[in-house]
Amino acid sequence: MWYGVPSMTAPIYPVFSDWPWQHWASQLPDSTALLLNETPMSWLALNEKISQLAASFIQQGVIPDTIVAVRGKNSAELLLAYLAVLQCGARVLPLNPQLPDTLLAELLPSLNVGYGYSPEADFCWPSPIKTLATAPSDVVSPTRTVPQWHSQRLATLTLTSGSTGMPKAAAHSFNAHLSSAKGVLSLMPLGPQDSWLLSLPLFHVSGQGIVWRWLLAGACLVVRNMRVLDDALRGCTHASLVPTQLWRLLNQPETPLTLKEVLLGGAMIPVDLTEQAEQRGIRCWCGYGLTEMASTVCAKRADALPGVGLPLPGREMKLQDEEILLRGDNMASGYWRDGQLFPLADPDGWFHTRDRGEMQNDELRIIGRLDNLFFSGGEGIQPEDVERVLLAHPQIQQVFVVPVDDREFGQRPVAVIEPLAELDFAVLSTWVQGKLARFQQPVRYLRLPESLKNGGIKISRQAVLNWVVSQN
């Protein structure tokens, strides 16, 4: 069964004929484009900053189609570098600053990275990557012509975990990012009068999703320290949060909230959370997305049902033997490696996600990963089902359920847990009674070791399994 675009009236957003920040600098020159902590920056000033930094990068040798890595936590400097690289006609690769040096040394050459930028002056890029400096105050106009805006040009490389443990780089065009933004904003309108907090890292596709919604709408992007969430959200109308963050925010009734729209992700969303938010004038949305599709694919107003809605405009979905297949204008052009693109779609243009889903109550429900299903005593166990139950425990932050070989049952589930605080794992065997079928109940609970939290894109389930096996 094929599922296409739901019927809805989407807001009208511009079709850019030049760089988005140049467009808004001409249309809304004095409107606030960025709020850096409490310091506003107009679209005109932002355009000047980006142009100056792009000129500096060009002087330092960056040419069109070069791969430039930018590494760091979210900051004004990192955001400006991300946009300036694009204006050079180059392709930007945002990197998690926690990625180990050994991984970078192996990965970056295979991605043909020529230059690297980091706000951390003491960071050393592996040879032969050239380090880019920030723009000096006396930058002159570059001798080379700055490339013109072209929506089909490859813009970004975004790392996603690979089955072998080595990250893959999904390559997206400008058009793919803007299509992704249009789809989300068809549900959650955003305009020049609104502001979205950059609450997710730029090295993650969801963080870039925020940036492209901001650029499409000509709104205000808020860049602040995220340590104190209610301070960071001050004055913001839109945010991307996980349920725990929203809970904490709502449990501070003395805090005046300006939020109007929240895109929730990461975990199951309790109904009483969304009801409490709605009572305070905050509309909550939830959905399903992935790196290859430039963030959100399906979305809906959060409710009591476990589904994730239907495909947004510009996306298509079908189920084939329970596997979710996707295609759309927001899909990556391919995986980038060794100077070329490798296709990620089949001949009909469908991306095989390996996510397992079903239609329930006329919407998509995500069941888990096809790759993760295993059998114990003839009973199928979807690890994600067990993980969802365990994540409901107030002291569990993260959990992986993996199979270990068993002579009698074939395989049995083991839970590897990262607790929020000190947690007596012995009580969990009692706690899961009545919540999980007997065959689903883990036979062993282990603490997630620090060695597996070493800065990868996300923790590899295979790495967790290998560690569990090594403990026997």
The enclosing domain of 449 has a CATH number of 3.30.300.30
Q: Which of 33-42, 101-110, 386-395, 461-470 has the highest mean pLDDT?
A: 33-42
Residue 253 pLDDT exceeds 80 = no
Cα separation, 93 vs 79, in Å, equals 12
Question: Please, what is the end-to-end C-alpha distance for the chain in angstroms?
Answer: 45
Residue 231 pLDDT exceeds 50 = yes
CB-CB contact of 314 with 185 (8 Å): no
Q: Are residues 283 and 412 in the same domain?
A: no
Residue 465 corresponds to which tokens in the numbers above? 């399994």
Q: Are residues 385 and 282 in the same domain?
A: no
Q: Could you say which of 331, 347, 365 is where a domain stops?
A: 365
Confidence at 452, pLDDT banded by 50, 70, 90: confident
pLDDT digits (tens, 9 = 90+) for 292-332: 999 999 999 999 888 999 999 999 999 999 999 999 999 99
pTM for this entry:
0.86
Q: Are residues 283 and 414 in the same domain?
A: no
Q: Are residues 339 and 384 in the same domain?
A: no
Q: Could you say which of 346, 365, 384 is where a domain stops?
A: 365
| Cis ω for the linkage preceding 128 (within 30 of 0) | yes
Residue 446 corresponds to which tokens in the numbers above? 């282990």
Domain count, the chain: 2
DSSP bridge partners of 116: 69, 131
Q: Are residues 353 and 424 in the same domain?
A: no
The parent domain of residue 151 ranges over: 2-365
CB-CB contact of 235 with 222 (8 Å): yes
Q: Are residues 209 and 139 in the same domain?
A: yes
412 sits in which H/E element:
strand 410-419
Q: Are residues 8 and 28 in the same domain?
A: yes
- E strands, 37-153, are 39-42, 67-71, 91-95, 113-117, 130-131
What residue has token string 């180059």? 90
Percentage of the chain modeled with pLDDT above 90: 71
Residue 408: predicted pLDDT = 82
Cα separation, 374 vs 387, in Å, equals 14
Residue 11 pLDDT exceeds 80 = no
Residue 328: predicted pLDDT = 97
Q: Could you say which of 338, 365, 392 is where a domain stops?
A: 365
